[in-house]
């Protein structure tokens, strides 16, 4: 297990350099004049141009120059310095403000998925082909079929504006209550998938041979389902939820955009729109690390849950 | 319905106290979307304390379904028990509540299954699984259950039992896994052990070890055993009586010795003839022609007639009754006498 984790950590280093390099290249290769982009509409004086060229090593041209700048960037990154956005703010500060919001949103979404998705999935799996099972099937297909870009404004209009059950937008310092509706919208997709996955897994495990054995031991049905079946059924579900948490942590561009939540996705989207290269690369670099770590945690968790999985 | 006209005839007289386990004229159907499959069509057999009954038959003959009906672990639906009785110590299990039946499972009648790898829960240690029965059914403490689990694992001769308590099923070899399965079944000292093809998934050498173990345990713990198998070789050394099943019926019922010496049903005869022999060289192996019947369309009359070398018009028209031959044997064949005389020759 230790060697497995070590190997995965080494792989993460490679993945980290690969992704930052690609994002860095994509973000800066396309730019015409970075200095003009930095200054926006205003004219740039010769002195400013010389200073910025010096600061960002823009005098080095071609592929060599690109790698020179990339390595310079990575060097700062490894020292914990994410650099400045084009607006002059420290990217580290931006993330420090945005992340707690996104994490809260992600946890609400995940709680919704677990509370309703897994519970309903277990019930649907036990009562296969019942009215409950069939209606959850229709509902989940509906949710999976509607893209967030449609679902989020619909929820905002009906639940936020028309019936005024929730605040329609979150604002700068969102309360937990303001994040509830976006959390539900964001979680609904994970909820639907978790429900389908749990339902299939429970239904399959109920037919397993070990259930027949448990019955022939004379155990009560409740124990067979809640101990034997559930313990096996939840292995794929927990794995899925772990990966999903990693996804949710990296921000939800659409949901955060629609509900005006100043999270990671919101800032990332603004960075892309304003061609703020340092901001985009900075955020993505951190996201890559979050994603890689959450995946590693899921892999380890998988081995803990299923004794048949052993990493050498 | 001429098929259900087969009358059960006990192969041996009922003892005064009744049999320990007595299955009477059991009928089971599987109702599926494709139609109704008549899986069990009037099966009767019994078991007395301390004896071993082998139930022999090919896949789909209904031997496992009958056993699962005794245990009360058939999935209903699709299975429906349409007629019959399963008497255990004189009381019909089929009329009892699910809760009462649950009490019988494991404590009175226990069962072991064919493939121990899938029959054991993959995510719990074996010690936990053996102990679970004791904790749940006997209210034993965790520590006592552990101790007893070690004893049981010792009993089925698992080496270093105490050390292997925390191992998971996949960490055991096939034979050891089946021993774990047996230990689990013995946890509550059942009076009847049903072994459903306990050696089918194992190597030949391990098969013999498991069969020996089962025979020893049966004798030492004074249990009665129903041994379900399709392997004639497995049966010979262990069983007292044999019931041969075909298409959901018992076609022949006899003590082991006389059945092997002179089978009285063409199906049994065919089975015995199709055993490869080491002493006869260069001879093609005999087979029973044709295939077992589709249980949704069981042939008229005797269900074996399309495959039977003895078949006459009467076999197509009439369902054969159980013919009582001497020495307490029965055979559901119109020509049972001839078949037996042919076999004895």
Q: What is the CATH number of the domain that holds B308?
A: 3.40.50.300
User: Are B115 and A308 inside 8 Å of each other by CB?
Assistant: no
Name which of A126, A204, A218 to mutate to probe chain B: the one with the most chain B Cβ atoms within 10 A of its Cβ. Answer: A218
Q: Can you give the pLDDT at residue A213?
A: 92
Task: State whether B123 and A212 contact (CB < 8 Å).
Answer: no
Torsional class of B200: left (φ above 0), alpha (ψ -120 to 50), beta (otherwise): alpha
Is the minimum CB–CB distance between B45 and chain A shorter than 8 Å? no
User: Domain range holding B300?
Assistant: 3-108+190-344
Distances in Å between the alpha carbon of A299 and those of A292, B39, B249?
11, 46, 52
On whether any CB of chain B is under 8 Å from the CB of A7, the answer is no
Place of tokens 């429906």: B80
Number of domains composing chain B: 1
Residue B6 is predicted with a pLDDT of 41
Residue to substitute from B73, B98, B121, interface A, most A β-carbons within 10 A? B121
Residue B195 lies in a domain: yes
Contacts of A109 (CB under 8 A, 6+ apart): A183, A184, A186, A187, A190, A248
pLDDT of A63-110, one tens digit each?
Answer: 777 788 888 888 888 887 877 777 778 888 888 888 888 888 899 999
Question: What do you get for the CA distance between the two ends of chain A, in Å?
Answer: 6
Give the nearest partner residue to B102 out of A212, A218, A228, using CB atoms.
A218
Q: How confident is the model at residue A305 (pLDDT cuts 50, 70, 90)?
A: confident
Nearest chain B Cα distance for residue A228, angstroms: 7
Provide ipTM, 2 decimals. Answer: 0.84
pLDDT, tens only, B161-219: 888 888 999 988 888 898 999 999 988 889 999 999 888 878 888 888 888 888 888 88
Contact flag B122-A218 (C-beta cutoff 8 Å): no
Range of weakest confidence among A118-122, B11-15, B277-281, B312-316? B11-15
Closest residue in A to B119 (Cα) is A210
Q: Does A309 touch chain B (CB under 8 A)?
A: no
Distance CA A149, CA A259 (A): 11
B120 CB within 8 Å of a chain A CB: yes
In the three-class reduction of DSSP (H, G, I as helix; E, B as strand; rest coil), residue B73 is classed as coil
Q: What is the pLDDT of residue A312?
A: 60
Nearest CA in chain A to B72: A216
C-alpha span between B206 and B204 (Å, rounded): 5
For the record, the structure tokens of B130 come out as 């053996």
All CATH 1.10.3720.10 domain ranges of chain A, comma separated, are 98-305
Interface mutation target, options A201, A209, A217, A302, chain B, most CBs of B under 10 Å: A217
Residues of A in contact with B183 (CB under 8 A): none
Interface test with A, best of B72, B122, B127, B201 (most A CBs within 10 A): B122
Q: Which two tokens stand for residue B237?
A: 């050394």
What's phi and psi for B164, nearest 5 deg? Answer: -95, 0
In a domain, B80, yes or no: yes
pLDDT at B17: 65
pTM, rounded to two decimals:
0.80
Answer for the pair A178, A256: CB distance below 8 angstroms, yes or no: no
DSSP state of B264: -
Asked if the structure places residue B301 within a domain, the reply is: yes
Angle between the N-to-C axes of helices B174-186 and B204-220, in degrees from 0 to 180, rounded to the nearest 10: 20
Specify the DSSP element, H or E, that contains B92. Answer: strand B91-92
Query: Would you say residue B162 lies in a domain?
Result: no
pLDDT-based confidence at residue A32 (cuts at 50, 70, 90): low
Question: In this complex, is the C-beta atom of A231 within 8 Å of any C-beta atom belonging to chain B?
Answer: yes
Mean pLDDT of B310-334: 81
Fold exhibited by the domain A98-305: MetI-like fold (1.10.3720)
CA B237 to chain centre: 16
Percent of chain A with pLDDT strictly greater than 90:
16
- Closest-CA residue of A relative to B183 is A217
Mean confidence (pLDDT) of chain A = 84
In a domain, B132, yes or no: no
Question: For A229, which residue in chain B has the nearest alpha carbon?
Answer: B121
Torsion region of B217: left, alpha or beta (phi above 0 gives left; psi -120 to 50 gives alpha): alpha
- Find out whether A232 and B121 touch, Cβ atoms under 8 Å: yes
In a domain, B148, yes or no: no
């Amino acid at each position: 297990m230790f060697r497995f984790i070590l190997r995965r950590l080494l792989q993460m280093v490679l993945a980290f350099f690969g992704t930052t390099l690609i994002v860095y290249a994509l973000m800066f290769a396309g730019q015409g004049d970075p200095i003009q982009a930095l200054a926006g509409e205003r004219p740039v004086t010769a002195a400013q141009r010389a200073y910025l060229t010096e600061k960002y090593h823009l005098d080095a041209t071609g592929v060599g120059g690109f790698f020179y700048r990339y390595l310079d960037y990575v060097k700062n990154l490894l020292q914990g310095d994410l650099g400045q956005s084009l607006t002059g703010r420290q990217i580290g500060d931006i993330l420090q403000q945005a992340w707690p919001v996104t994490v809260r949103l992600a946890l609400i979404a995940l709680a919704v998925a677990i509370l309703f998705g897994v519970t309903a999935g277990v019930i649907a799996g036990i009562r296969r082909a019942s009215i409950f099972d069939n209606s959850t099937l229709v509902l989940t297909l509906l949710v999976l079929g509607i893209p967030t870009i449609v679902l989020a404004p619909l929820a905002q209009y009906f639940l936020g504006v028309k019936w005024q059950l929730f605040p329609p937008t979150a604002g700068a310092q969102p309360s937990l209550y303001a994040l509830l509706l976006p959390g539900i919208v964001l979680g609904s997709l994970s909820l639907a998938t978790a429900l389908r996955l749990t339902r299939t897994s429970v239904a399959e495990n109920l037919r397993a041979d070990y259930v027949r054995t448990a019955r022939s031991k004379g155990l009560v049905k409740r124990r067979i389902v809640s101990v034997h079946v559930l313990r096996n059924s939840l292995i794929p579900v927990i794995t899925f939820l772990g990966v999903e948490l990693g996804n949710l942590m990296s921000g939800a561009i659409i949901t955060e955009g629609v509900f005006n939540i100043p999270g990671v996705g919101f800032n990332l989207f603004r960075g892309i729109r304003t061609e703020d290269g340092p901001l985009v690369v900075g955020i993505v670099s951190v996201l890559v690390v979050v994603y890689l770590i959450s995946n590693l945690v899921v892999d380890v968790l998988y081995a803990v849950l299923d004794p048949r999985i052993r990493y050498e | 319905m001429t098929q259900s006209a087969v009358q059960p005839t006990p192969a041996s007289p009922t003892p005064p106290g009744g049999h320990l386990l007595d299955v009477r004229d059991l009928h089971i159907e599987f109702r599926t979307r494709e139609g109704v499959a008549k899986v069990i069509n009037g099966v009767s057999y019994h078991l007395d304390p301390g004896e071993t009954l082998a139930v022999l038959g090919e896949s789909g003959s209904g031997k496992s379904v009958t056993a699962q009906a005794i245990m009360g672990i058939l999935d209903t639906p699709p299975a429906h028990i349409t007629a019959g009785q399963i008497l255990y110590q004189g009381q019909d299990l089929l009329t009892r509540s699910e809760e009462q039946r649950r009490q019988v499972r494991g404590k009175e009648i226990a069962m072991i299954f064919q493939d121990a790898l899938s029959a054991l829960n993959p995510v719990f240690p074996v010690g936990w699984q053996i102990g679970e029965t004791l904790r749940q059914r006997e209210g034993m403490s965790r520590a006592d259950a552990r101790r007893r689990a070690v004893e049981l694992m010792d009993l089925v001769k698992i080496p270093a039992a105490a050390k292997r308590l925390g191992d998971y099923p996949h960490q055991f070899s096939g034979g050891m896994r089946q021993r774990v399965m047996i230990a689990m079944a013995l946890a509550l000292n059942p009076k009847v052990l049903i072994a459903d093809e306990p050696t089918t998934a194992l190597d030949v050498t391990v098969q013999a070890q498991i069969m020996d173990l089962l025979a020893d345990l049966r004798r030492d713990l004074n249990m009665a055993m129903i041994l379900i198998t399709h392997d004639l070789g497995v049966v010979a050394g262990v069983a007292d009586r044999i019931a041969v099943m075909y298409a959901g019926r018992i076609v022949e019922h006899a003590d082991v010795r006389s059945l092997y010496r002179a089978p009285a049903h063409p199906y049994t005869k065919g089975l015995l003839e199709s055993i490869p022999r080491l002493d006869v060289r260069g001879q093609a192996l005999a087979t029973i022609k044709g295939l077992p019947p589709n249980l949704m369309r069981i042939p008229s009359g005797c269900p074996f007639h399309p495959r039977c070398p003895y078949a006459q018009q009467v076999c197509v028209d009439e369902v054969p009754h159980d013919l009582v031959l001497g020495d307490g044997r029965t055979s559901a064949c119109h020509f049972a006498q001839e078949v037996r005389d042919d076999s004895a020759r």
